[in-house]
Amino acid sequence: MNTRLVIRPEAERDVQEAYLWYEKQREGLGEDFLLCVEDDPGRRQRS
Three-state SS string across 3-27, please? CCCCCCHHHHHHHHHHHHHHHHHCC
- Residue 4 above 80 pLDDT? no
Q: Which residues contact 45 (CB under 8 A, 6 or more apart)?
A: 3
Q: How confident is the model at residue 27 (pLDDT cuts 50, 70, 90)?
A: very high
pLDDT value at residue 9: 95
Residues 6+ apart with CB under 8 A from 42: 3, 5
Task: Tell me what pLDDT residue 46 has.
Answer: 52
Residue 2 above 80 pLDDT? no
Task: Give the model's pLDDT for residue 41.
Answer: 62
Cα separation of 4 and 6, whole Å?
6
Residues 6+ apart with CB under 8 A from 29: 22, 23
